[in-house]
Amino acid sequence: MSTLSPANRRQFLALLGLSAVAVGCGTAAGSGGSAKGGTKTLRYQGWTGQVTPAELAQDLGYLEDVRLEWVGNTISGPQDIQSAATGQTDFGGAFNGAVVKLAASGAPIKAVISYYGSDKDSYSGYYVLADSPVRSARDLIGRKVGMNTLGAHSEAMLDIYLQRGGLSPADADKVEPLVVPPVNTEQSLRQKQIDVAVLGGVLRDKALAKGGLRPLFTDHRLLGSFSAGTYVLTERFIKQNPDTVRTFVTAVGRALDWSRATPRDEVVARMTEIVRKRKRNEDLDALRYWRSYGVAGSGGRITGKELQLWIDWLAQRGDVDRGRVRLDDLYTNDFNRNGR
């Protein structure tokens, strides 16, 4: 497990994703984006053992003549959108705060559709041992919080919780977020290597089934139902391939709506078959625990408040210059034909 001092953590967050500023030189043309009529192939990264909304859209036949080309699996949302910004892939998805930071660094990206969020069925919880003395934000001073990555959704929720709990910036800096591999987070908590574990999905459900844990808070309790992450493409790719982007965005939105309207068992069965067909030697166990993509609203359409929240949060922390981020430039629903 790796640790960062508060000072180094702030530096890490400020630098995260900034290497993608090089795309200002125009390297992200996209796969075949210069061909007449635009590309019909979209390169992307997946997640092992999971079916993304884009992959579901393809299996449902919603992508029509557009084809997805898997180039490997990502390790985090910030890495995924950085790959899209630098032209290694054609689209990527991440927590909206990471999208704001990357855009503020000068990367010419634009969010086009929400793809995950938090609701009553799909959420991240911050768990402590049942006998832990930690019961409030102030009790976290001097404590360690294990999460999958820094500078993304989990740390943002922690910061908001600490702020709402009345902690000063100085006291909040005494709370130590740590990077812990998700598969090791529960064990690290039970062995008291960390004081709080951020758990979601199958890892959360398995941990709770064993007992001995209680929630300190969840992102859903903190903010209610909200779309938390978006798919992004470069502005250049969008300009060169508007028809492909329109097909892609609309298809993803339809897949999200299909997953919401279809009985859960049927969705899980479909996802299980998708993973089996791609033959990547993946564990199917996690799919049994799938409940929802958590996207608020219909068709995956983006609302400005979902991004403005993170502009304000990052600006307050000093991680972005508010003057370098314009909400209207960050996203568009123009390519989403759902819900019109």
Mean pLDDT (the chain) is 88
The average pLDDT across 39-51 equals 95
Query: Is the pLDDT assigned to residue 11 strictly greater than 80?
Result: no
d(CA 253, CA 54): 9
Q: Report the percentage of the chain scoring pLDDT > 90.
A: 73
CA 257 vs CA 8, 27, 54, 266: distances in Å: 42, 34, 12, 14
Residue pair 110/238 in contact by the 8 Å Cβ criterion: yes
The predicted structure's pLDDT at residue 73 = 95
The predicted structure's pLDDT at residue 13 = 42
The average pLDDT across 170-174 equals 96
The average pLDDT across 73-82 equals 90
Domains of the chain, each with CATH number or no CATH: 6-119+226-330 (3.40.190.10), 124-223 (3.40.190.10)
The average pLDDT across 274-278 equals 96
Query: Is the pLDDT assigned to residue 35 strictly greater than 80?
Result: no
Band (pLDDT 50/70/90 cuts) for residue 37 is low
The average pLDDT across 236-255 equals 98
CB count within 10 Å of CB 287 equals 22
Query: Is the pLDDT assigned to residue 75 strictly greater than 50?
Result: yes
What single letter denotes the amino acid at residue 296? A
The predicted structure's pLDDT at residue 245 = 98
Query: Is the pLDDT assigned to residue 289 strictly greater than 60?
Result: yes
Looking at per-residue pLDDT, the higher value among 121 and 26 belongs to: 121
pLDDT in tens, 201-217: 878 988 999 999 999 99
Band (pLDDT 50/70/90 cuts) for residue 76 is confident
Helix 96-104 × helix 77-85 angle, to 10°: 40
Looking at per-residue pLDDT, the higher value among 318 and 187 belongs to: 187
Query: Is the pLDDT assigned to residue 262 strictly greater than 60?
Result: yes
The average pLDDT across 218-238 equals 95
Which positions ≥6 away from 300 have C-beta within 8 Å? 53, 113, 114, 115, 227, 249, 252, 253, 256, 336, 338
Query: Is the pLDDT assigned to residue 219 strictly greater than 60?
Result: yes
d(CA 195, CA 139): 10
The predicted structure's pLDDT at residue 236 = 97
The predicted structure's pLDDT at residue 266 = 98
d(CA 60, CA 47): 19
User: How many alpha carbons fall within 13 Å on the CB side of residue 234?
Assistant: 31
d(CA 287, CA 203): 11
pLDDT in tens, 137-158: 999 999 999 998 887 789 989 9
Query: Is the pLDDT assigned to residue 47 strictly greater than 70?
Result: yes
The average pLDDT across 295-307 equals 94
The predicted structure's pLDDT at residue 124 = 93
pLDDT in tens, 81-119: 999 999 999 999 999 999 999 999 999 999 999 999 999
